[in-house]
């Protein structure tokens, strides 16, 4: 189903200066992975674009026949109509629309046999937020501005000035450090990039074992972890964190919450949970709630009530 995503109230990522006077360019983003789709859409919205999403080529084709777009970004392997089939439909009716193929399985042989498909760019998965924004900017020829350039060495998205309600300490204290633990490289990278764009210092780990090693080697203000992972699950890592009496807030972000484990061992209950699929805005909102309680303190409270979303 195609839907229009509205820009969030809090803009953590700087929008191009041109969007202050010209209508925002409109992008159709097609991906059958809800989490990847929502995170990428959220990033593009924060950067000043207007974004519609579709979960496969069939819904995207309907949208393309109803709405005028400036750019199509599509995955390839999807149900009903693949990205390649969508592009063929697009070109067969002479729609002059720039296309970015963002996929881990680009149909290179098919593209060689049919040069008339005319891809404007490809983004092999996994890709970073910086790579996504840079590719979109190049294809749409978005002009640079002082507050919209990306640091391609660090993949950091510059932030606009802090809103007036933000605590003054944020401007002087070092960025809060977050560890994202997830065995899905796409999801992990997108989460890292979204939170980095919001001003946090973020690192990633590919499973609970790597996450535990990282937590023993470095100091973090928050850990966000999936549950089902090879070598060590999220709940097993969380048990090690609690057994070691680390005063560290934990958000469990997973599609299968181990509620039976939480019931048997309530001391393992995380400070917040995010049930997949969730959007980039959901992720940022929960992180801010955990790291910025209403009383202004940070860190895990023994008597705190978990946040569920």
Per-residue pLDDT of the chain (309 residues; tens, 9 = 90+): 555 444 443 334 444 444 445 778 999 999 998 888 888 898 898 888 999 999 999 999 999 999 999 999 999 998 889 989 998 998 888 788 999 999 887 777 777 777 777 788 989 888 888 889 999 999 998 654 333 333 333 333 333 333 333 333 344 457 899 999 999 888 898 899 889 888 899 999 999 999 999 999 999 999 999 999 999 999 999 999 999 999 899 999 988 888 888 889 999 999 999 988 777 888 999 999 999 755 444 444 433 334 444
CB 80 within 8 A of CB 57: yes
Domain span at residue 106 reads 3-140
The domain total for the chain is 2
Residue with tokens 């009383």: 295
Rounded to whole angstroms, the Cα distance separating 215 from 28 reads: 39
User: pTM here?
Assistant: 0.56
Q: What is the CATH number for 64?
A: 3.40.50.2300
Residue 178, phi then psi, degrees to nearest 5 = -125, 140
Rounded to whole angstroms, the Cα distance separating 94 from 108 reads: 22
The reply to whether 154 falls in a domain is no
Residue with tokens 């946040």: 307
247: tokens are 């005063």
Residue 27, phi then psi, degrees to nearest 5 = -120, 140
Same domain, 33 and 108: yes
Same domain, 172 and 136: no
Residue among 46, 125, 38 nearest 83 (CA): 125
């Amino acid at each position: 189903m195609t839907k229009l995503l509205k820009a969030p109230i809090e803009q953590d990522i700087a929008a191009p200066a041109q969007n202050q006077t010209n209508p925002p360019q409109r992008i159709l983003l097609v991906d059958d992975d809800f989490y990847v789709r929502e995170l990428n859409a959220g990033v593009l919205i924060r950067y000043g674009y207007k974004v519609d999403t579709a979960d496969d080529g069939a819904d995207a084709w309907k949208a393309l026949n109803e709405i005028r777009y400036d750019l199509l970004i599509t995955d390839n392997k999807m149900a009903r109509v693949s990205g390649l089939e969508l592009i063929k439909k697009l070109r067969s009716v002479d729609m002059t629309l720039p296309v970015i193929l963002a996929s881990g399985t680009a149909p290179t042989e098919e593209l060689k046999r049919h040069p008339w498909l005319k891809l404007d760019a490809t983004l092999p998965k996994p890709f970073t937020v910086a790579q996504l924004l840079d590719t979109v900017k190049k294809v749409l020829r978005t002009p640079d501005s002082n507050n919209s350039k990306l640091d391609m060495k660090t993949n950091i998205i510059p932030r606009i000035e802090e809103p007036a309600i933000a605590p003054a300490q944020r401007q002087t204290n070092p960025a809060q450090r977050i560890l994202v633990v997830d065995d899905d490289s796409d999801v992990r990278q997108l989460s890292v990039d979204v939170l980095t764009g919001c001003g946090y210092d973020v690192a990633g780990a590919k499973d609970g074992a790597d996450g535990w090693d990282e937590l023993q080697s470095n100091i973090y203000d928050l850990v966000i972890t999936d549950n089902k992972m090879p070598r060590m699950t999220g709940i097993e890592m969380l048990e090690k964190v609690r057994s070691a009496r680390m005063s560290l807030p934990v958000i469990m972000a997973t599609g299968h919450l181990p509620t039976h484990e939480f019931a048997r061992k309530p001391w393992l209950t995380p400070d917040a949970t995010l049930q997949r699929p969730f959007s980039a805005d959901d992720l940022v909102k929960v992180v801010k709630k955990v790291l910025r309680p209403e009383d202004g303190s940070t860190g895990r409270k023994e008597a705190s009530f978990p946040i569920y979303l």
